[in-house]
Structure 1
């Protein structure tokens, strides 16, 4: 379990640094927006190219992918249904669904897969599903929501190819499918730029914690509790039920999909929400609370399922 707590400690340290920088007035709200913009337009696309370039796409076609997809889809639809009852606008619904279903598969998924589950490759289905399907779909819907004019079907379909994160994912996937490798003169600068993605996200998040309302005070408690409940309770339960009763996964596979489904909301949801100016405080608070509560959730699931 040491690797799990080390992963959480690393994230907490960078967030705390962001809080400190904002408290000392080294970085203000404009600086926070700049960090989020840098992560969205530059660092994240570069990171996706270099990460997906070497990914094992064969890991996608497995029972774990089916269980993960089902849990993400059903959790997202549960939030959409609740949002429809409350007549939430499209942009707010998309961000809320991401808060409820988009897991931190990169920063926490990799160390947890390595140190709790014993195989870092187990996180691949979750990671690639989110990068290649869930995130491009969400970004397209947010682009449509922000547009001031009615978009044609052709323009809607063209939106993904103009979004930097989607483009980065597509390029990385293309290299993985063809087996081609970027030359070192291109790969190395991209890797350096991509290395800014996670620190930029975490620093921007910490700055927002200091400059914005305290967690739990910026959004209605019922809304926040609902999102976190879907993320840390419904999603892992669905993953377990699908894995055990519908797919008959092995004990190791069942533990993997259940634990990974209980990971907190990913930090890049806050970057996306900030970029599109749709519910950034909800995203921020959902990340904060779900990250705190995911520690006992992962420990409990490991003890029960293993």
Structure 2
């Protein structure tokens, strides 16, 4: 269990550092936007190349992937219905909200949790690759469509995901993993160095936003924040359990793995996307905060019951 606390403590301390620097007026809102843009356009694409290039793509073909997909689709469908029918949100806002209730922190938190709680970092690979290669490109395409005026042509719509730096980085990493190619040291080392900036930049930007932005729930509906947080912390891992255990017959350590990874909190890069496209930034910020705090007891409970 120490790995769970270590992972969350690391994230919390870096976020707190960002908030402290903002409080001391070392950073302001322009610094928060700069860090978010650095993470989005430069560091995260480099991280995707390095991370996916070393991933075991065969892990995606496991039964756990089916349960993981179901655990994503259910909260997304519930939120999307409420966002459009009850809160009357636009496409961009709905996209960010859907990510907030389904896109887990599979990288900087999922990997240590998988290593120390599940005993194998590779167990997070199906979730990581599903998010990077399917969910993220689709969401970014929707956000691009929402923020660009006019009716795009079909060719523009199809090509748009491939102009996004995160999608391009993910595709390059996947190509390296599928072919077994390795980049020259002169290219790999700088990519790793730049990619290592991604997570700290995201967390510092998030801490600045917590300190300088509106209070918890102040930027929108408290009911909406409660909904996204509940869908993420309760519904997503519950659906993963029900599908894996009763529809696919998964049990033992494999069942524990799929439920724990589904119970991870909302990823910090959702806030980066929200900031980049200026859509639902407070909703993303608040959901990340609530789920990051709430995921600790949830994961401990899952490990105690299924471990």
Superposition TM-score tier, normalisation by shorter sequence: over 0.9
Partner of 2:101: helix, strand, or coil? helix
Query: Residue 142 of structure 1 corresponds to which residue in structure 2?
Result: 143
Structure 1 distance, partners of 2:237, 2:69, is 12
Query: Residue 268 of structure 2 corresponds to which residue in structure 1?
Result: 267
Query: Residue 196 of structure 2 corresponds to which residue in structure 1?
Result: 195
Q: CA deviation at 1:217?
A: 2.6
Query: Residue 30 of structure 2 corresponds to which residue in structure 1?
Result: 30
Q: CA deviation at 1:155?
A: 0.6
Query: Residue 97 of structure 2 corresponds to which residue in structure 1?
Result: 96
User: What are the superposed Cα offsets for residues 267-293 of structure 1, whole Å, 9 maximum, x if unpaired?
Assistant: 000000000000111100000011011
Counterpart contact for 2:92–2:146, Cα < 8 Å: yes
Query: Residue 85 of structure 1 corresponds to which residue in structure 2?
Result: 85
Query: Residue 279 of structure 1 corresponds to which residue in structure 2?
Result: 280
Query: Residue 108 of structure 1 corresponds to which residue in structure 2?
Result: 109
Structure 2 distance, partners of 1:192, 1:108, is 19
Q: CA deviation at 1:6?
A: 0.6
Structure 2 distance, partners of 1:52, 1:116, is 22
* Superposition misfits of 4+ residues, deviation over 4 angstroms: none
User: What are the superposed Cα offsets for residues 101-153 of structure 1, whole Å, 9 maximum, x if unpaired?
Assistant: 00011121111111111111110000010000000000000000001111112
User: What are the superposed Cα offsets for residues 206-225 of structure 1, whole Å, 9 maximum, x if unpaired?
Assistant: 00001001223333211110
Give matches, 1:98-247, under 5 Å. Answer: 98-247=99-248
Equivalenced residue count is 306
**Is residue 21 of structure 1 aligned with residue 25 of structure 2?**
no
Gaps of 5+ in 1: none
Query: Residue 290 of structure 1 corresponds to which residue in structure 2?
Result: 291
User: What are the superposed Cα offsets for residues 150-181 of structure 1, whole Å, 9 maximum, x if unpaired?
Assistant: 11121111001100000000000011111100
Structure 1 distance, partners of 2:224, 2:303, is 28
Structure 1 distance, partners of 2:262, 2:53, is 24
- RMSD of Structure 2 on Structure 1 (CA): 0.8
Structure 2 distance, partners of 1:287, 1:219, is 15
Structure 2 distance, partners of 1:299, 1:250, is 18
Q: CA deviation at 1:305?
A: 2.1
Taking structure 2 as the reference length, the TM-score comes to 0.98
